Amino acid sequence: MLTRECRRFRERFTPGDQDSHRETCPSCAAYAAALERAASAPQLAMPERLRGELKGVLPFVRHDAPRLPVPQAPLPAGLKDRLRAIPREQRREPPAWVRSSRWTVAASYFLTVVMLQAVGDPVALGRRATDTLVRTWGQTWTEVRDERLPRIGSAIVERYGATVGSVESSLSELKSEAREMSDKTRLSFKEWIDRSDR
């Protein structure tokens, strides 16, 4: 398995580079030697017949040029000037603290220590918050149970009593009206019978 240094060496390696990692790591030394052997191998000349056929298809292929160069696409003048103004030589790699995970771990550790010193122990903070929440809940429940529930219960009892009283009075009124109606209908029924007998 490759270490981080081995991966970094292999990404940056070009034939002919002398790096201290190459001398300490045998697998990277073998890798570099294989690349250098492949780079120093002579390029085979392309047969003339194949070259002639390829020139008809790819007119930009030459013996001394790369096999498939990137074709130059026409660019607007403003964009072309801006792209040429970007200095290629002055491009730098990002700083080591951005590229290395060690710096990230160190920064997170530093921030953790600073936050612990500034804010305090998170476990103790959690316990305090839980105790405060339990105390507040207990006070609220006691207040509801001792003050509000009896008021609500007495209001319900009063409303229930008033409703029962109004229903009883309505029923007694209906009974008296029903008796009056039945008495009237009996009398009128008797009068009708008496009239029919005549």
Tokens linked to 110:
């530093």
Task: Identify which has the larger pLDDT, 197 or 16.
Answer: 16
pTM: 0.25
> Element (H or E) spanning 175, and its range?
helix 149-197
Q: Model confidence over 16-57: pLDDT tens digits?
A: 778 888 888 999 888 888 888 877 766 667 778 877 777 776
pLDDT band at 66 (very low <50, low <70, confident <90, very high): very low
Residue in the block written with tokens 């008296």: 176
pLDDT at 188: 65
Task: Give whole-number Cα distances, 177 to 140, 164, 188, in Å.
Answer: 53, 20, 16
Q: Are 9 and 28 in contact (CB under 8 A)?
A: yes
pLDDT at 69: 47
pLDDT at 180 > cutoff 70: yes
Other C-beta atoms lying within 10 Å of the C-beta of residue 75: 12
pLDDT at 73: 66
Span of 83-87, 139-143, 175-179 with lowest mean pLDDT: 83-87
pLDDT at 68: 46
Q: How far apart are alpha carbons 98 and 105 in whole angstroms?
A: 11
Span of 45-49, 152-156, 189-193 with lowest mean pLDDT: 189-193
Distance of CA 96 to the CA centre of its chain: 29
